Amino acid sequence: MRLQYPVSFLKLLLTGFALVALPPALALLGAFFSLDQLGQRSAEAISRATLITRDSRALSEHITGLERLARQQLVLNDQAGIDAYARRRSALLESTARLAPHAEGLAISDELGRLQSEEQVAWQVLQASDLSAVDQQTVIRQFGAMNERAGRIVAQADASIEKDIATLHANAAGARQSLLWQLWAVLPVGVLLIIGTLLLIRRPVRQLEAGIRRLGEGNFDEGIRVDGPRDFVALGQRLDWLRQRLRELDEQKTRLLHHVSHELKTPLTALQEGSALLSDKVTGPLNADQSEVVRILRSNCQRLRQLIENLLDYSSIRFQPSSLRREPLALDEVIAQVLEDQKLALGARGISIDPQQTPLQLLADREKLRVALDNLLSNAIKYSPENGRITIRSRAEHARGGSPRAVVEIIDQGPGIPAELAPSMFEPFVQGPAPSGSPVKGSGLGLAIVREYIGAQGGDVSLQPNHPQGTCARIRLPLVNHPSS
């Protein structure tokens, strides 16, 4: 079953927030009702305890007061005593009436009923006009029993209140335990909902990220598809449209470069062959000026061919990167091959080489490394003065906390590159000041090709000022199998 996303990213976020907030909200709602019920029970228990305590103690006080009035009446036997007793008796009856609703819960129904009966007997005796000694004993005996019953009622009321307090403590502990269990249940559910929401959001974002990365790497063949909210899907469709458009432009560029290459190389080959025939004096002898013109023609034909090949090479590595062919190789052998290839150029300008090399082993693409070194050496030859010297230095570098690296430096004695221009020299079609005496400007792609080739192998390249003059082109590459590493 395919997961159905909300129609927009905003609704997805809102849905995620709502799902994450739902368990805590339910837990808070449950806690609110639990505490509300506990509060209501506590209020009821406190109110009941207050009434029972007040009325039970008032009952005992009224009986004590009635006993005092009864004893006075036994002595005085007058109407004023009867009236005072009647008023106090009314207060006693009110207290018993208030205790009556709680009598069953307090288990004092029998005691309260007997107390009322005993008080009724005493009241009837006291109302007689002539009280005998027997009546007096009866009244005193009734009040003694009434005091004992009042004491038992107070004790029973206190025990009931303590029981209610214990019940409240138990209810509070139960509510606390319930809240704790709800907390433990909410935490994992909330974490799972958060993780699920993040996964839902992360999936289309990662698909977009992967599509953009493929576009940046020049992979225009694999389509871009994004699952998720409608706006993410629309964004993925626009990216796929961009991919198709870039692929069309790349194909047009490739066709254009191939066409330009063919159209330029065909007349260029004819010019090279013609200048070679003239140089070989096939058409007849040449004077000194004519020989110089032929030499310039041949030199510029070779230069134009190199510019065309640089353009094609950079286009290939920039937009259609090929797989590296890494192999173990000796760095000094690659440098020796580059020097051999540039032997004629070095001899033509009388430039000497000062080798300062350490035998190092690399795991690299031999041809790409050779092309990079060849471009750097060509630049050094071009900018070096006549009969100058170029230093080629190789060594191992051990960075603190990092892996060992091989460092190759090609140092010329030319005018040097201003420090503020050095970082931009590796950008395509950016050129430094033209060397003096050079009739043809470069394409501005040589250093860009060097950066692409070296960067593809995990290295870096930079231009440093050399003192007192010149430029130091420095390459760093991962080093393997070095004895000191």
Secondary structure of residue 288 in the 3-state scheme: helix
Contact 75, 109 (CB under 8 A): no
Distance, CA of 299 to CA of 440 (rounded, Å): 10
pLDDT of residue 439: 46
Q: Distance from CA of residue 102 to its chain's centroid?
A: 64
Report pTM: 0.44
Which domains are assigned to the chain?
Answer: 9-198 (1.20.1420), 222-321 (1.10.287.130), 325-433+442-478 (3.30.565.10)
Amino acid letter, residue 39: G
Cα–Cα distances (Å) from 104 to 45, 107, 117, 156, 455, in that order, read: 16, 5, 18, 12, 94
pLDDT of residue 316: 60
- Write out the H or E segment, with its range, that includes residue 460: strand 460-465
Strands (DSSP E) contained in 275-413 are 326-330, 352-356, 361-365, 389-397, 405-411
pLDDT of residue 205: 81
pLDDT of residue 441: 53
DSSP letters, 40-85, are HHHHHHHHHHHHHHHHHHHHHHHHHHHHHHHHHHHHH--HHHHHHH
359-400: pLDDT as tens digits? 888 888 888 888 889 888 888 888 888 888 999 998 888 877
Per residue of the chain (485 residues), give pLDDT as tens: 455 666 666 676 777 777 777 777 777 777 777 777 777 877 777 777 777 778 778 878 888 888 888 888 777 777 887 888 888 888 888 888 887 787 777 777 777 788 788 888 888 877 776 767 777 788 788 878 888 888 887 888 788 778 878 887 887 887 788 778 877 877 787 778 778 777 777 888 888 888 888 887 767 778 888 887 777 788 888 888 988 888 888 777 767 766 666 667 667 777 777 777 777 777 778 787 777 777 777 777 776 777 677 666 656 655 444 557 888 888 889 999 888 888 878 888 888 988 888 888 888 888 888 888 988 888 888 888 888 899 999 888 887 767 888 999 999 888 887 777 777 777 766 666 666 555 445 556 678 888 888 888 888 888 887 777 788 889 999 887 544 43
